[in-house]
Structure 1
Amino acid sequence: MRERGFRAFWLLCGLPAMLVLTMLLALDTGATTVHLRDLWHCATGAQGQAAHLVLWGIRGPRIAMACLTGAALAVAGTIMQGLFRNPLADPGLAGVSSAAALATACVIVLGGAWQWVTGLGMWAIPCAGIAGSFAGMGLLYFFATRGGVTSITAMLLAGVAFGAFSGALTGILIFRADDTALRDLTFWTMGSFSGATWSGVGLLVPFLLVAGGLAIHLATPLNVMLLNEHNAQLMGYPVERIKSLSMLAVACATGPTVSLVGAIGFVGVVVPHLVRLMVGPDHRVVLPASAILGATLLTGADTMARTLASPAEIPVGIVTALLGTPAFVWLLARSHRTGVS
């Protein structure tokens, strides 16, 4: 127990330092030669306009968006794994991300015929993704709740069904899309931070603050839920309220990020499990450590995505899939050997 606490202490001290180093490396790396020493000059106005544009207008919001997205997906995955008591669960199981993707695809393919889409302009896709995520969460609860009791098993099965149905509808939209919409939709489904802006970061922050606050509130209840729902009720915890708040946190973390940057896989399932292997199942440690590690890994993956084929750019979803698939297979093999379910 003391050894686990010692490892948790050093992990929570070392991960922020790793995140800072990764962010500095990302700022210093790119197709345009602009170095970290130019940061101060840009802040004081002593550096040229080109360096200021690259560091603060392009790389800055992109790194911020990658950090927030990685943290959000990792926290959502941690909550899902704690709620379902399954270390291989991820936000996609709830169908929330699929609903957000479907709503976003509707706007990309059909939005030209809708007046409200034209009125919202650049905010149409984020708003649609956010609305879709919360609509998906509401439908999931409607089908999984009977007599005021929400079944975790029914929620899991309904989430899988909703995800498959949303994927089918998205496929129909892809089939009827024109060349421009098809290209936009294809690149969106692979995930990218190329369109990140400070206004997009500002839109994401309020939702992530809500998700983070809920995650802090849920840390201890999720520890109790790891036993079973009956024991949690005997200890005085409001089990149904924990379930609803957990799903609300997942929706707040997943929906906005999916709508802004596209579908990015494996972060939500791999990162929490890696942290849990190092420090154990205590969500008071796993949640903040997963957030920081998720931010670090996705920032590093985005740096690789924009430098490996420079000056071209690889969608970050491809990079996370290439890196995440071996890790996921290893986790599956390890779970099979140790009997984890």
Structure 2
Amino acid sequence: MTRPVPARPLFLGLCAALLLVFWLALALGSVSLPLGDTLRALLHLSGVPVKVEGLEQAELIVGQLRLPRALMGLLVGALLALCGVAMQGLFRNPLADPGLIGVSSGAALGAALAIVFGAAIGGLPAVLAPYLLSLCAFLGGLVVTWLVYRLGRRDGQTSVATMLLAGIALTALASALIGLFSYLADDATLRSLTFWNLGSLNGASYPRLWPLLLVGMLVAAWLPRRVDALNALLLGESEARHLGFDVERLKVELIFCTALGVGAAVAAAGMIGFIGLVVPHLLRLVVGPDHRRLLPASMLGGAILLLLADLLARLALAPAELPIGIVMALIGAPFFLYLLLRSRL
């Protein structure tokens, strides 16, 4: 472990990087806008009196297309990174990932059910119909996580090792069922299912932001209240108990928090990997293991990384758009291998 970077310059740098990447996400795309026009359009949309002559196109692109997309990328990246910190604290392993408890695979299975059989579901209220896929994905993640938790419980105790094995088994089962649905689906449904599983922010809209924002606020407000318990858990479960923390309750809260956050993120943007693994691991090397700094740093780092990946997805083959899950895999997998090799040296 290298010496941690001082908190003030670190957070100032992360905040500045997030603002810059957010600005670029609003300006760049298949139709790129001048940075000045983008800023003026954003200020006008925020109610600041600025000159708007000649900004009609910029205001339309920023307000209707890129602003909700950038906000969704910010929220999804922050949520996935926060949940990654929670899982790495629960498993006491810096290489742990939120997908270990099955929430991502459960959300993917719920989405597959909605895509393949959604047309056969009738009688939904008009207000719920546009959210069928997201709702099924969210519920699928919660159900599979609950099953993993129940399988890990024995004699009033929660076994982290049993939960890990149950998560692997249920992830494999969910993947098999998704493969079965893909085999049974027609061409149009198969295309929709494939693109959803690859992840994208293309479906961002203001109505879809509100549930994600609510979940993000809950997770971001709750996890910092448990930083002392998370720090104590790094010493081991018995040591944390001797320090006066209710370890079993902490496990339940971390599992529920991860299921809520990852389920909402996957329901909004599809399957996006490596953020919950790479971002906390990298920032732990920079800020140290103290969760009082690791949690907010990871939240900012996750938002920055996902916005950068979305920029690459939009610009690499413009005007076509790469699925963001592919971009994250191309970024995350080599970096993860580098971390593994570095730890062996």
TM-score normalised over the length of structure 1: 0.94
Cα RMSD (Å): 1.7
- Match status 1:57 vs 2:64: yes
- Match status 1:163 vs 2:171: yes
Counterpart amino acid of residue 142 in structure 2: F
- Match status 1:191 vs 2:190: no
**Structure 2 residue aligned with 1:150:** 158
**Structure 2 residue aligned with 1:132:** 140
Q: What secondary structure, in the 3-state scheme, does the structure 1 residue paired with 2:6 have?
A: helix
- Alpha-carbon distance between aligned partners in 2 of 1:117 and 1:102, rounded to the nearest angstrom: 20
**Structure 2 residue aligned with 1:305:** 313
Of 79, 83, 88, the residue aligned with 2:86 is 79
Deviation at 1:47, TM superposition (A): 4.5
**Structure 2 residue aligned with 1:267:** 275
Alpha carbons 1:191, 1:264 under 8 Å: kept: yes
Deviation at 1:23, TM superposition (A): 0.7
Q: Deviations over 1:192-233 (max 9, x none)?
A: 111111111112011111111221122221111011110111
Deviation at 1:50, TM superposition (A): 2.7
Counterpart amino acid of residue 307 in structure 2: T
- Alpha-carbon distance between aligned partners in 1 of 2:124 and 2:296, rounded to the nearest angstrom: 37
**Structure 1 residue aligned with 2:22:** 23
Deviation at 1:267, TM superposition (A): 0.8
Q: Deviations over 1:146-204 (max 9, x none)?
A: 12210111111111111111111111111111111111111111111111111111120
Deviation at 1:136, TM superposition (A): 1.5
Q: Deviations over 1:60-85 (max 9, x none)?
A: 01111111111111111111011101
Counterpart amino acid of residue 148 in structure 2: L
Counterpart amino acid of residue 245 in structure 1: E
- Alpha-carbon distance between aligned partners in 1 of 2:103 and 2:344, rounded to the nearest angstrom: 28
Deviation at 1:20, TM superposition (A): 0.4
**Structure 2 residue aligned with 1:294:** 302
- Alpha-carbon distance between aligned partners in 1 of 2:77 and 2:118, rounded to the nearest angstrom: 28
Alpha carbons 1:99, 1:132 under 8 Å: kept: yes
- Alpha-carbon distance between aligned partners in 2 of 1:259 and 1:229, rounded to the nearest angstrom: 33
Alpha carbons 1:7, 1:278 under 8 Å: kept: no
- Alpha-carbon distance between aligned partners in 1 of 2:123 and 2:80, rounded to the nearest angstrom: 29
Quickly say closer, same or farther: Cα 1:85–1:3, change in 2 above 3 A.
Answer: closer
Identity across the alignment (%): 43
Quickly say closer, same or farther: Cα 1:83–1:173, change in 2 above 3 A.
Answer: same
**Structure 2 residue aligned with 1:248:** 256
Alpha carbons 2:2, 2:286 under 8 Å: kept: no
Alpha carbons 2:2, 2:285 under 8 Å: kept: no
- Match status 1:37 vs 2:44: no
Counterpart amino acid of residue 8 in structure 2: F
- Alpha-carbon distance between aligned partners in 2 of 1:202 and 1:106, rounded to the nearest angstrom: 24
- Match status 1:99 vs 2:122: no
Deviation at 1:52, TM superposition (A): 1.9
Segments of structure 2 that go 5 or more residues without pairing to the other structure are none
**Structure 1 residue aligned with 2:74:** 67
Q: What secondary structure, in the 3-state scheme, does the structure 2 residue paired with 1:115 have?
A: coil
Of 225, 233, 237, the residue aligned with 2:241 is 233
TM-score normalised over the length of structure 2: 0.93
- Alpha-carbon distance between aligned partners in 1 of 2:315 and 2:159, rounded to the nearest angstrom: 46
- Alpha-carbon distance between aligned partners in 2 of 1:267 and 1:3, rounded to the nearest angstrom: 24
Report how many aligned residue pairs link the two structures: 336
Alpha carbons 1:75, 1:287 under 8 Å: kept: yes
- Match status 1:202 vs 2:210: yes
**Structure 2 residue aligned with 1:282:** 290
Quickly say closer, same or farther: Cα 1:333–1:2, change in 2 above 3 A.
Answer: closer
